[in-house]
Amino acid sequence: MLETPVLCKRIPTWPWGDPADRAYVDYDAFVDTGGYVALKQALDMEPKQVIDAVKSSELRGRGGAGFPAGLKWSFLPPEDGQRRYLAVNADESEPGTFKDRLLLDFDPHQMLEGIAITMHACRLDTTYIYIRGEYHAQAKATQRAIEEAYANGIFGKNSKLGKINDRWPECVLHRGAGAYICGEETGLLESLEGKRGWPRVKPPFPAVAGAFGRPTVINNVETLAMVPPIIEHGAEWFKSMGKGRPDGAPPSVPASFGPKLYGVSGHVNRPDVFEDDLGIPMSTLINEHCAGMRNGKAYKAAIPGGISMGVLGPDEMDAELDFDIGKKHNCLGLGTAGVIVMDEDTDMVMVARNIARFFAHESCGQCTPCREGTGWMYKILLRIEQGGGTTKDLDLLLELAGSMGAMPGTTICGLADGANWAVRTILNKFWDEFASRVSVDRSVSLPVVGAGH
Amino acid sequence: MEQRDLPWIMKNSAGTQIERRDEPYFDAALRDELEADLMPKYPNRRAATLPVLHAVQNKVGYLPYQAIEEIAAFLETTPAEVLDTASFYDQYMTEPQGKYTLWVCHSLSCELMGQPDLLGRIQKKLGVGPGETTDDGKFTLRTAECLGSCGTAPCALVNDVLHETIDTDTFLRSLDDLN
Ligand SMILES: Cc1cc2nc3c(=O)[nH]c(=O)nc-3n(C[C@H](O)[C@H](O)[C@H](O)COP(=O)(O)O)c2cc1C
Ligand code: SF4
Ligand code: FES
């Protein structure tokens, strides 16, 4: 268990504080409690040293994919005097995920400090914070923090950062308008350019040709907020938290270091965002952090990190929530660590139908397997839920789900992989429940030629 | 739309006239304001499409086709491109909306925590389904995907105000207090 909160230092959170006491931390309060010290330290370092510090901390992206942040930064080409961008992913739309919101609502300066350090390290002159359109209050809080940061010389003319690419550093809040796919990094860039949020075919990767065709770093809010404490306390401090590398694995294997924000929702007594080491068992999260299951019910299933990740079954309550969870528990991964807990009364057909509906609605429509597949999976699951399904439908669902995604290689982006894993793992782990809801298929396939004689 | 002699053509796009009025929706005052405050933040004009659509929709209540043309002129692009973008996003409306739009989240955490009852009873009270507006023009009901409030489910946005941990009775009563 984490001894002292890191990202929740100023945000009262169980067990260190009472969530009822949460309030916006303004620039002065932030500075009084040690804020912007790390930025000062970073500005005394060469940009490359900052990148190396983040690299050696092995900080992995907190937006869902877990890609090492320092490594991503090192893919940038050399400077050429033209613009280079930082795009901050504050689109947080994955069902079950509400952790970035906590930082944006109450302590956005942590993210802004991380942004400033990243701009210095990667020589990025302009930042766009892409925040989802439905985050009205969060956009206000973030805008307020940005204005405070400008007023105190973090961004803008005469910024502490000095000129980058011969420009004063700028930080702009950009509001989305209700489209999950804009959380996918290249969908985000298209949307930022004023277009529909259609993910791009990669390569080229954003580090080389991102926003407006220029080199661009894209990071999640929580990832960036983690950068200042790493600069201030060092990589070793960061690596003293979390799960570390699997036993016996060589240093090249990515590990699960550091603290993590977990958002827990569903059938628990105390749903909220909690901060703890990466790799704590889900049962600890449910029984201690969330004070147990609601109404004394028994645990049945959980989504480990947003609905794209698939499901954990009745015997997987002790699953360790780290970046290796996918391999160990046959799910897609840790995702956003937005845990959705379900009790014994939950209808898993309903869960699958709800998730399929989400993906059918949010598919951007570029790739046929995703556009058509998600729509048909939803219709089939609705039919099963309403009692009209047959055993054939279950096989069809598995075939459909398994064929879509960037990993099977049939689609442009990972939305379809999310639909794939969600439907497939729910079906596989709760097969009997689905089987009990369908009737045996009695239709007989007749040969077409000569049929009817 | 008048029915021509080609009944299989459902939408007479080429012949359709859009509604127009003399007074622009996107007026000079708003144009000047955005030109000064917003446009310098972007390296090209088209990148400001989303914020400009937000600003005009905030002012007018929705995005009439004439406004789309005015926005295109301002952004130095074509109306087709602006409409292409606007039609992709759930929050932009090209039809008039009720004074209050209720966005009821129906993603997983909310469905687990009682959203079907909430939505059902709102529908019954207002007499409209998702996507519809009450006859008095007061409420438009919509479903939304995850609003980032899963820990405080069920939830709904009333315009831009988020209601969390909704108790259906209290919520329904609060609708009566809106005017
Ligand atoms: C369909 C889809 C939706 C995504 N939505 C988000 C999101 O809302 N927020 C986020 O930070 N990352 C999201 N991602 C992951 C981003 O593509 C990207 O990996 C991430 O922003 C990189 O930041 P990080 O390395 O700091 O995690 C999404 C990915 C996919 C495929
Ligand atoms: S996989 Fe789906 S969401 Fe992603 S680009 Fe293709 S159609 Fe769009
Ligand atoms: S599922 Fe409704 S707010 Fe997340």
- Residues A238-261: tens digit of each pLDDT: 999 999 887 788 888 889 999 999
- Over 80: is that where the pLDDT of A420 sits? yes
Residue range A327-331: mean pLDDT, rounded: 94
- Put simply, the answer to whether A194 touches B47 (Cβ < 8 Å) is yes
Integer Cα distance of A6 and B104 in angstroms: 34
Q: Torsions phi, psi of A242, nearest 5?
A: 90, -160
Q: Which CATH class is domain A348-435?
A: mainly alpha
Chain B residues whose beta carbon lies within 8 Å of the beta carbon of residue A340:
108-109, 112, 150
Residue range A346-374: mean pLDDT, rounded: 98
Q: Tell me if B110 CB under 6 Å of ligand 3.
A: yes
Q: Which whole-number Å values give the CA distances from A94 to A97, A303, A351, in the listed order?
A: 6, 12, 15
- Over 60: is that where the pLDDT of A449 sits? no
Burial (0-12, 13-18, 19+ Cβ within 10 Å), B138: middle
Q: Are strands A216-220 and A85-90 parallel, antiparallel or unpaired?
A: parallel
Cα(A414) to ligand 1 centroid in Å equals 10
Which pLDDT band holds residue B6 (cuts at 50, 70, 90)? low
SS3 (DSSP) at A126? strand
Ligand 1 atom at minimal distance to the Cα of residue A62: 27
Q: What is the pLDDT of residues B77-91, one digit of tens each?
A: 999 999 999 999 999
Integer Cα distance of A172 and A416 in angstroms: 31
Residue range A19-240, CATH number: 3.40.50.11540
CA-nearest residue to A268 within chain B is: B151
A343 CA: distance to closest CA in chain B (Å)? 10
Domains of chain B by range and CATH?
21-88 (1.10.10.1590), 100-176 (3.40.30.10)
- Put simply, the answer to whether A133 touches B103 (Cβ < 8 Å) is no
Pinpoint the alpha helices (H) of A123-266. Answer: 136-151, 185-192, 221-233, 235-239
Among B50, B108, B145, whose Cβ lies nearest the Cβ of A194?
A: B50
Tokens found for residue B65: 């086709």
- Put simply, the answer to whether B150 touches A271 (Cβ < 8 Å) is yes
pLDDT value for B1? 45
Cα(B42) to ligand 3 centroid in Å equals 32
Integer Cα distance of B92 and B112 in angstroms: 28
Integer Cα distance of A227 and A231 in angstroms: 6
pLDDT value for B11? 67
CA-nearest residue to A294 within chain B is: B113
Our CA dihedral for A63, A65, A70, A75, rounded to 10 degrees, sits at -120
Residue range A256-335, CATH number: 3.10.20.600
Q: How far is CA A204 from the centre of its chain?
A: 22
- Put simply, the answer to whether A265 touches B109 (Cβ < 8 Å) is yes
Q: Tell me if A278 CB under 6 Å of ligand 2.
A: no
CA-nearest residue for atom 6, ligand 2, is A367
Identity of residue B97: Q
- Over 50: is that where the pLDDT of A91 sits? yes
- Put simply, the answer to whether A194 touches B112 (Cβ < 8 Å) is no
Integer Cα distance of A416 and A404 in angstroms: 6
B97–chain A Cβ distance below 8 A for any pair: no
Q: What is the pLDDT of residues B92-151, one digit of tens each?
A: 999 999 999 999 999 999 999 999 999 999 999 999 999 999 999 999 999 999 999 999
Residue range A373-378: mean pLDDT, rounded: 97
Ligand 1 binding pocket mutation candidate from A101, A138, A220 (most atoms within 8 A of CB): A220
Mean pLDDT, all residues of chain A: 95
In this structure, the number of other CB atoms found within 10 A of the CB of residue A37 comes to 14
Q: Which residue, among A207, A173, A174, has the nearest Cα to A193 in the 3D structure?
A: A174
Q: What angle do CA A185, A186, A187 make, to 5 degrees?
A: 95
Residue range A137-160: mean pLDDT, rounded: 98
DSSP structure class, residue B133: B
Integer Cα distance of A110 and A224 in angstroms: 8
Ligand 2 atom at minimal distance to the Cα of residue A371: 7
pLDDT value for A246? 76
CA-nearest residue for atom 24, ligand 1, is A61
Chain B interface, best mutation among A100, A193, A273, A336, by max B CB count within 10 A: A193
Integer Cα distance of A156 and B40 in angstroms: 13
CB neighbour list of residue B126: distance below 8 Å, 6 or more residues apart: B134, B139, B141, B175
Mean pLDDT, all residues of chain B: 94
Integer Cα distance of A352 and B108 in angstroms: 9
Residue range A347-362: mean pLDDT, rounded: 98
pLDDT value for A453? 44
Residue range A401-407: mean pLDDT, rounded: 95
Place of tokens 């961004």: A155
Chain A residues whose beta carbon lies within 8 Å of the beta carbon of residue B156:
none
- Over 60: is that where the pLDDT of B69 sits? yes
- Over 90: is that where the pLDDT of A212 sits? yes
Integer Cα distance of A235 and A237 in angstroms: 5
Cα(A62) to ligand 1 centroid in Å equals 8
Q: Which residue, among A375, A280, A276, has the nearest Cα to A16 in the 3D structure?
A: A276
ipTM: 0.94
Q: Where are the domains of chain A?
A: 19-240, 256-335, 348-435
pLDDT value for A447? 59
- Put simply, the answer to whether B148 touches A271 (Cβ < 8 Å) is no
Integer Cα distance of A258 and A337 in angstroms: 14
Ligand 3 atom at minimal distance to the Cα of residue B144: 2
Cα(A104) to ligand 2 centroid in Å equals 28
A137 CA: distance to closest CA in chain B (Å)? 8
Tokens found for residue B22: 């003399």
Which pLDDT band holds residue A37 (cuts at 50, 70, 90)? very high
Q: Which H or E element spans position A99? A: helix A99-106
Chain B residues whose beta carbon lies within 8 Å of the beta carbon of residue A354:
106-108, 111
- Put simply, the answer to whether A98 touches B48 (Cβ < 8 Å) is no
Tokens found for residue B60: 């007018």
Integer Cα distance of A72 and A87 in angstroms: 13
Integer Cα distance of B158 and B163 in angstroms: 7
Strand partners, A340: A265, A303
Chain A interface, best mutation among B87, B91, B146, by max A CB count within 10 A: B146
Q: Tell me if B147 CB under 6 Å of ligand 3.
A: yes
Q: Which whole-number Å values give the CA distances from A290 to A30, A272, A334, in the listed order?
A: 28, 8, 19
Ligand 2 atom at minimal distance to the Cα of residue A370: 2
